[in-house]
Copies of this chain bind each other. A is one copy, B any other.
Amino acid sequence: MPEIRQNLITREWVIVATERAKKPEEFVQKNKEKKEIPGYVPTCPFCPGNEDKTPGEVCRIGSTGKDWKVRVVPNKFAALSREGDCKRRIEGIKRSINGKGIHEVLVETPIHNMTTALLPVEQVRCIIEVYKNCFLAAYKDKCVEHVVIFKNHGEGAGTSLEHPHSQIIATPVVPSQVRERMEEAIRYFDDTGDCVFCRTLKEELEDGDRIIWEGKSFVAFIPYAALSAFHTWIFPKRHAASFGSITPEEMNDLAITLKTVMAKFYYGLDNPDFNYVIRSLPLEEDEEECYHWYLTVVPRLSKVAGFELGSGMFINTALPEESAKFLRETKLPF
């Protein structure tokens, strides 16, 4: 019998399609076209030596010239503009606001063909620290209402640029999805006195079936109602509503956890395309009792189709417990 599961945090229903379920091994990207990517591409704007192709560097870790570890630059094809005001217009059904905001790119490494799974932990730590700096800096703009930090890896995940990079987008509105989830979290808190995220983490740890990896300060697991195959959540153990309050020790552990999860994907599923994103409130709302920041990872192993687009429900052809066991048992070479 198939099972329909509800994600308590997002209220999304997911059909866990047991009748058409695949084994974890069937998701291995063996047939994916493998192309040899060189470590340095002279025409790549993110490769060292081409710093002048990305003018207006926002910040960097490392020294001057082409000797850097991480760089942040404005997105050349920015979706939002730093200039102007955040004027709203309401005219009948037409509601809009000027596209004022921030759209930056974080170049994660000088090496063109690198990937999170293979980076040294120190470099991942360095990326996370820059995420934090960018996150805090973005909210200083008084037009900014919400900041999203994310990474697209591979064409199937929506990127055409090979060089490893993340993006920061700061918008002058709070997305309605973020607002709706906040309302659900408040309702859960009203009903139980608990943070729904803390409660989820506690039960997942007790249960154990869906845990991929437990670090000192972070836990990676497949949600009970995972939207798609190998959809993964990384939760901080300490209750905090904002990524902006992450401590130096927590950054060390997040680096280890993120690299480990990425390596589980890389070695276990043969380098699938993926997106990851940090979901967080601003630092000033860090003490919010009912919200909890986290990182979500979505390997792109299947396609969203008409049913998902037309209902907001999902069909997952992988059993979360089996996927978690597979990743838990995936051996890493380090």
Residues of A whose CB lies within 8 Å of any CB of B are: 1-6, 8, 11-13, 15-20, 77-81, 83-84, 92-100, 146, 148, 150-152, 155-159, 167, 169, 171-173, 175-178, 180, 196, 199-200, 203-204, 224, 275-279, 296, 298, 302-307, 309-313, 315
Establish whether residues B4 and A96, one from each chain, have CB atoms under 8 Å apart when the complex forms: yes
- Interchain CB contact (< 8 A) of A172 among B4, B80, B303: B4
Of residues A11, A275, A309, which shows the largest number of chain B Cβ atoms within 10 Å of its Cβ? A309
Least CB distance from A80 to B in Å reads: 6
- Interchain CB contact (< 8 A) of A156 among B8, B204, B303, B307: B303
What are 12 A-to-B residue pairs whose CB atoms are below 8 Å? A1-B84, A3-B99, A4-B97, A4-B98, A92-B199, A94-B203, A155-B303, A158-B306, A159-B305, A167-B306, A175-B312, A296-B309
Least CB distance from A320 to B in Å reads: 11
- Interchain CB contact (< 8 A) of A157 among B80, B172, B305: B305
Establish whether residues A152 and B306, one from each chain, have CB atoms under 8 Å apart when the complex forms: yes
- For the complex of A and B, the 10 pairs showing the least CB-CB separation, nearest first, are A177-B312, A2-B99, A158-B305, A277-B310, A150-B306, A275-B306, A20-B77, A158-B303, A11-B176, A6-B95
Of residues A4, A17, A151, A172, which shows the largest number of chain B Cβ atoms within 10 Å of its Cβ? A4
A148 to B99, CA, bound (A): 34
Establish whether residues B176 and A312, one from each chain, have CB atoms under 8 Å apart when the complex forms: yes
The chain B residue with its CB closest to the CB of A279 is B310
Contacts A93-B199, A303-B157 given; does A81 touch B309 at CB 8 Å: no
Given A1-B83, A15-B171, A275-B309, 15 more A-B residue pairs with CB atoms under 8 Å apart are A4-B99, A8-B95, A15-B99, A16-B99, A19-B77, A20-B78, A93-B199, A93-B203, A94-B203, A94-B224, A150-B306, A157-B303, A171-B311, A177-B312, A178-B311
Establish whether residues A1 and B150, one from each chain, have CB atoms under 8 Å apart when the complex forms: no
Least CB distance from A28 to B in Å reads: 18
- Interchain CB contact (< 8 A) of A176 among B4, B12, B150: B12
Of residues A80, A95, A305, which shows the largest number of chain B Cβ atoms within 10 Å of its Cβ? A305
- Interchain CB contact (< 8 A) of A15 among B8, B80, B303: B80
Establish whether residues A6 and B148, one from each chain, have CB atoms under 8 Å apart when the complex forms: no
- Interchain CB contact (< 8 A) of A93 among B18, B169, B200, B296: B200
